[in-house]
Amino acid sequence: MLWQPTTDGEDLFLRLFEGLGNHLALRGPDDAGLGFLVAPSRFTEFARLTATLEVFLRCIGHAKAFHQDQAHMPSTTLGAILGKELDLPARLARDRRFCESAKRAGANAATRPRSKAIERTVVSEEPPYCYLCAIHLTKTQGAPDQRTIEHLWPLSLGGDSSEGNLTLACKHCNDTRQHCITWAWGPVQSTYHARSGDDDPPRDLRLSLALARMMLVAAGTDSSARRLTLKEAARTSGPGFPSLTLADNRHYVYFELFAQVEARL
């Protein structure tokens, strides 16, 4: 597992990663391997996460429709649907824990209300700054620094409104992130960045690197260490936007910036 899940959506994503994405194998030319890449292991992880995302998003869509139309049916019925519609292997589609996780995630994705009591608890217990950019939060409606409550794993993707999945973010970061759930969702293959201006690098790129930092902390450096939840990782690592050292008159691809984030952990 890449991290310790808090919500059913995370659990479903990680089960798909372990059952499918993590088995995706990449190979380079016989005379080169993957050495021509900036970071072969990270590029492989990117490919595995991207494959998992593609399946996960379709899975959530079917699970949400199942909750709306067939919620009375057992989770194994949903597993059979996912096996047929997504061509999932039988060992996954027939796994009861996977089926139950998918059914709960679909129910979460179809639910929107959030307890005002939980909101008050989050506001009172979380530090008064954005967990991503560290800006001090205000109550000014519509301002970039307006205090908002962020779902670390989005409701629309099977998250929930439990305290373990909620934190504080500024409106600007919350609006920028939207449904992004891993760094692989970010501007990985479109990055060709050179330093320019005050907003450097662009916010969407910094956000993707912040998610990479949070996921690296949650996964840990020791395979025997306990995995952290995303909220624990966010608290452990502090504000997520990483500091980068960028030379003038030089462009960087994503994995060069990723290497800087990893080196600073």
Q: What is the mean pLDDT of the chain?
A: 92
> What pTM was computed for the model?
0.94
Q: Strands of the chain (E only): list them.
A: 147-151, 166-170
- Among residues 94, 88, 60, which one has the least CA distance to residue 76? 94
Q: How confident is the model at residue 240 (pLDDT cuts 50, 70, 90)?
A: confident
Q: What is the pLDDT of residue 213?
A: 92
| 118 burial level (CB within 10 Å; 0-12, 13-18, 19+) | middle
pLDDT at position 199 over 70: no
Q: How confident is the model at residue 222 (pLDDT cuts 50, 70, 90)?
A: low
19-27: average pLDDT: 94
User: Around 73, how many Cα atoms within 13 Å sit in the side-chain half-sphere?
Assistant: 17
SS3 assignment, position 80: helix
Whether the Cβ atoms of residue 135 and residue 145 lie closer than 8 Å to each other: yes
Task: Point out the domain boundary residue: 63, 89, 109.
Answer: 109
Q: What is the pLDDT of residue 224?
A: 58
120-146: average pLDDT: 93
Q: For residue 63, is it within any domain?
A: yes
d(CA 24, CA 36): 19
**147 and 223 together in one domain:** yes
**13 and 91 together in one domain:** yes
Q: What is the pLDDT of residue 44?
A: 95
145-150: average pLDDT: 95
Q: What is the pLDDT of residue 260?
A: 94
pLDDT at position 170 over 90: yes
Split into its structural domains, the chain has a count of 2
Q: What is the pLDDT of residue 86?
A: 97
Q: For residue 2, is it within any domain?
A: no
Enclosing domain of residue 217: 116-263
Dihedral angle computed from the Cα positions of residues 233, 207, 177 and 225, in that order, rounded to the nearest 10 degrees:
-20
Q: What is the pLDDT of residue 223?
A: 61
Q: What is the pLDDT of residues 42-73, one digit of tens each?
A: 999 999 999 999 999 999 999 999 999 999 99
**129 and 199 together in one domain:** yes
Strand partners of residue 170? 147
Task: Point out the domain boundary residue: 80, 109, 138.
Answer: 109
Task: Point out the domain boundary residue: 64, 92, 109.
Answer: 109
CA distances from 145 to 101, 149, 223, 243, 253 (A): 36, 12, 38, 20, 30
The answer to which of 121-125, 158-162, 219-223, 238-242 has the lowest mean pLDDT is: 219-223
* 112, amino acid identity: R
Return the structure tokens found at 157.
């993707």
Q: For residue 3, is it within any domain?
A: no
- Among residues 149, 108, 126, which one has the least CA distance to residue 11? 108
